[in-house]
Amino acid sequence: MKIRNIKFIILLFPFILFGQNKSKKKISFSKDVFPLIQSRCLPCHAVDAENPSMLILENYESMKLGGKHGSPIIPYKVNESSLSFKLKPDPIFGEQMPITKRKRLTPEEIRIIDLWISQGAKKN
């Protein structure tokens, strides 16, 4: 029985390594980040939305420009970027995004956004 357990761990080992590689994966704005923004943040953050934050998330340029509290993206600085901390409970100001709970991002999706910011938030 014990030997079987060891075999199981050895079998699992490559997957553990692979999982770590994945966390260092290069995140793409157009393929990984923007689809999340489009499905979860619009239409509330569209040009014609009456959003008091004035933050337009329709494209990379308008995202970087930011809203009432300035740019939501500080490249390489995840904790200072409101695009990151507004997705988590008890943000520095206002509500956790998206306000509508059913559109909330999963921890894995939030990690994608955090990784992208930590990699410089490029238009890639």
Rule CB under 6 A: which residues touch ligand HEC? 40-41, 44-45, 51-53, 55, 66-69, 72, 82-83, 86-87, 94-95, 97-100, 103, 105
Q: Which CB, 8 or 80, lies closer to ligand HEC?
A: 80
Q: How many CB atoms lie within 10 A of CB 62?
A: 15
> What is the closest distance, in whole angstroms, from the C-beta atom of residue 48 to ligand HEC in the complex?
13
Q: Which CB, 78 or 83, lies closer to ligand HEC?
A: 83
Query: Are 112 and 27 within 8 A, CB to CB?
Result: yes
Cis amide bond preceding 98, omega within 30: yes
Query: Are 78 and 118 within 8 A, CB to CB?
Result: yes
> What is the closest distance, in whole angstroms, from the C-beta atom of residue 107 to ligand HEC in the complex?
13
> What is the closest distance, in whole angstroms, from the C-beta atom of residue 36 to ligand HEC in the complex?
7
Query: Are 44 and 98 within 8 A, CB to CB?
Result: yes
> What is the closest distance, in whole angstroms, from the C-beta atom of residue 15 to ligand HEC in the complex?
30
Dig out the tokens for 50 from the structure.
Answer: 């009456």
Q: Which CB, 20 or 50, lies closer to ligand HEC?
A: 50
- Which residue number has the CB closest to ligand HEC? 94
Q: From 33, 9, 121, 22, select the one nearest 76 (Cα to Cα).
A: 121
